[in-house]
Chains A and B, each alone.
Chain A
Amino acid sequence: MKSTMGMILTGGKNDRLKELAELRSSTAVPIGGKYRVIDFVLSNMVNSGITNIGVLTQYSFRSLMDHLGSGKEWDLDRRNDGLFIFPPYLAGEHSGWYQGSADAMYHNITFLKRSFEEYIVVAQGNCVYKMLFDDMLNYHIDKKADITIAYRDMSDFPVEELSYMGIMKMDDNGRVVDFKEKHNHPESTICSMGIYILRRELLIDLLEECNSLGKYDFVKDVIISKLNTLQIYGYRFNGYWRNLNTINAYYRINMEMLNPEIRHQLFEENGKVYTKVKDEPPAKYNEEAEVSNSIIADGCIVEGTVSNSVLFRGVTIKKNAVVNGCIIMQGSVIDEDVKIENLIIDKNVYISKGINLKGMPNFPIMIEKNAKI
């Protein structure tokens, strides 16, 4: 891939993820048995040969910092380049919190200026997909575009959740002619994936201009306001892609990972997905275990019945417990004779003997971290 750097936006506060993202950045939400959401975009960049990557963090970034560390799991603990994390800071006139995505990038513009790469991929950190950016960059160069935005037809996504996304419209040549963000009545199912490719120097110019006008938002103030003056093109992506923006989407994405075709796309095609390593022994199943259509991580001990579920590392399911359609995060314990269905159970939860709890597939019950029920 041509000389390209990466920038990951971890976004603002997301109340629609409720308790899941109360104490952690939405990009640090655990997913798929052993991952955090940000692993996907980071791995995509690394698999595309990008080794100079900045991560802009804002809300509850401690969990994200803990997860990313020095970047060694992504082979980003480099002598040159590597992983750079940019939490908000106080300096001079700058008041601390980033006021928007463009503001966040502007306040770390030194990172952009000090880098040497010709192009930059700017991408949201809260999406689950597998994509190499090479093809998109070639498209960008072929089209002689100023900015290229990846998009996907989201007709396989619930209509009510499209209003949280950016809806794009292209002309016959692929040039973006309309972009509406978070519109209550989306006109189509063509959604922006929040992935942008442009020249690094153009980004620096755009950010400086944006700041001089007192504006903050990359999508609204940079992209949408420049639709007429810049050559902005759309790049179509057809693979699996999901945006984690509601608790229902979170539940659905985990359940979709049970589908072999989607698992294949996410974990076998176009490189591996890297994540922070924990040293757990292999999962252990005792005589009574009945398990079907489920993802089970290392360190689990299963003695009960588990179906259509995702168990993270070190989860214990005791005898006669029946678990169906649940997402159970690291270290939680489901005691004997418990019956649970359609639950999202955060880390280190204990569900005592004999408890019976049932949510709905489109309205899963959420159990907070460290709760004891």
Chain B
Amino acid sequence: MHNKEIIALLLAGGQGSRLGVLTKHIAKPAVLYGGKYRIIDFSLSNCVNSDIDTVGVLTQYQPLELNAHIGIGKPWDMDRINGGVTILSPYVKAKVGEWYKGTANAVFQNIHYVDKHNPEYVIILSGDHVYKMNYSNMLDFHKENNADATISVINVPWEEAGRYGIMNTDERGKIYEFEEKPQNPKSNLASMGVYIFKWSVLKEYLIRDDQNDESAHDFGKNIIPLMLGEGRNMWAYKFNGYWKDVGTIQAYWESNMDLISRVPDFNLFDPAWKIYTPNPVKPAHYIGPNGSIKKTIAAEGCMIYGKVKNSVISSGVYIGEGAVVEDSIIMTDSYIGSNTYINKCIIGEEVRIGNNVKMGIGENIPNELKPSLYDSGITVVGERAVVPDDCQIGKNVVIDAYLTSDEYSTLNIESGKSVLKGGTSE
């Protein structure tokens, strides 16, 4: 078997707990984005477009949706005889079975997978980010510098720099210091969670890290600082472009809304850098005689009889006669009844919303149970939930996934309330 120069390991095990009910039953990389994609499609498509044809996807949290989505990698042309996509989930070993304890540990547990391909370099990616990036340019940079590790960085606003892992570099880009979430950042170059390593070097550090019981087994917290501390040759590769960690409800909503502006910063229409995803088997969408659709993207299989504005509509969505949908994200195969009004909501997959419902009305009061998650005025409905006819729902409301209409104790749900599975309405 011929060796690969570089293979990719895609970390897709994170829950993304700040996405609340959206990631209750699926991992963050499997969350829908932009009408037909899932977040992981961006990293996977970047691999294909950068000529990386061997990708290991490391899954852990709620992997079913993700596994079904990736399958044997057909949509990305990764159903290869030599290489292709491989799902790497935690497994039981001779003596013990263990979960991935951290990002570095996840890679450590799959050393044998990498060794089988015997690559010179590995690129570590995260399946949590929305961006288009040519990894082969980064690899060239890595080779030019004969680096042990190259970390891709992006300029973030100074006031937000404290939320990221910050790289302090000399003027050529050589890293001399790394600070995780610094209070007084010296630079605004944030790590994007994209690393290229010499495999022989990384392997050594992974093995050493595994023997350190005090380590959190994390790339950002342990491996990178340890390598820097030992004077390894490490470089920051600057990326200029659209990159979003859609980690919160607000960021997720905003990033989707970026797609509907006239000339979006993030262009999905670029024929030279296509984003691939499994295509649903559905007819082209239909706009009804009294329908209207403005400043919106809509995918295949939709039937839109109502009015839609400033929204992202995924495939197979039905919007009834007289309904109005504004500033919202509606995910795959959801149904919106007639004369229903939806304002600034995120509606999960296969949700059924009845007739004459009003959602996202009233005052902007943060959610009472999880104010840090739901405070931006966005009401969120989890997958396969039902919202009964004539229901009135405020802002920052959470409707739990799989909720049935029997589980509502009232049809008037004020801003900041949650309706949870098991009949607890608070």
A-side residues, CB < 8 A to B, are 32-35, 258, 260, 263, 266-267, 272-274, 277-279, 281-299, 301, 310-313
Contact = CB atoms under 8 A, between A and B. Distances in A.
B269 A281 contact: yes
A33 B284 contact: yes
Interface string B288-301: 11111111111110
Given A282-B300, A285-B298, A291-B291, 6 more contacts: A277-B279, A279-B277, A279-B279, A281-B269, A292-B287, A296-B287
Contacts of A273: 281, 283
A282 B101 CA distance: 38
Q: Is the interface of B mostly helix, strand, loop or mixed?
A: loop
Interface residues of B, number: 39
B297 A291 contact: no
B290 A287 contact: no
Interface in B278-324: 279, 281-300, 303, 312-315
Contacts of A283: 285, 297-299
B284 A296 contact: yes
B262 A287 contact: yes
A298 B285 CA distance: 8
Contacts of A301: 269
A282 B35 contact: yes
Given A279-B279, A281-B34, A285-B298, A296 B285 contact: yes
Nearest to A274: B281
A291 B282 CA distance: 20
Contacts, number: 112
Q: Is the interface of A mostly helix, strand, loop or mixed?
A: loop
B149 interface: no
A34 B283 contact: yes
A27 to B, nearest CB: 19
Nearest to A291: B287
B300 A32 contact: no
B269 A299 contact: yes
Nearest to A306: B287
Nearest to A278: B279
18 contacts: A263-B286, A267-B282, A279-B276, A281-B36, A282-B268, A282-B297, A282-B314, A285-B293, A285-B296, A285-B298, A289-B295, A291-B293, A294-B287, A296-B285, A298-B36, A298-B284, A298-B299, A310-B284
B291 A292 contact: yes
A286 B262 contact: yes
B66 interface: no
A296 to B, nearest CB: 6
A289 B297 contact: no
Contacts of B299: 282-283, 298
A295 B283 contact: yes
